[in-house]
Amino acid sequence: MNCQYCGQSFNRAPSRLREQHEAVCRDRPDVTVRNEGTIFLFTLHTPAVEEWVETHVQLEDWNTFGGSSFAVEHRFARDLAHGLQQAGFVVR
């Protein structure tokens, strides 16, 4: 059985371990946004939001910070956060 939030496999693990893991995943936001002054840093925490961003956001080389973080100019950050929330993602 897999975690319903992140997809991690728990095929041979006790169900209690999967339930504890899901409780942590359920409370974790899909995206965290941090104000860095002239830019906002968006960090993606779930595969679903990574797929959404890949489909809906055009990132340049300067935007990306390895892994699943990218920078957005302050004038676009609010609209992007709102779009993510409208798509059903939890943004903090």
For residue range 41-60, list pLDDT tens digits in order. 999 998 899 999 999 999 99
CA 75 to chain centroid = 20
Would you list the domain boundaries of the chain? 31-86
pLDDT above 80 (res 7): no
Closest CA to 57 of 28, 84, 92, 33: 84
Please name every residue paired with 33 in a beta bridge, in sequence order, or none if there are none: 42
Contact between 3 and 38 (Cβ < 8 Å): no
Q: With the C-alpha atoms ordered 27, 20, 11, 9, is the resulting torsion angle positive or negative?
A: positive
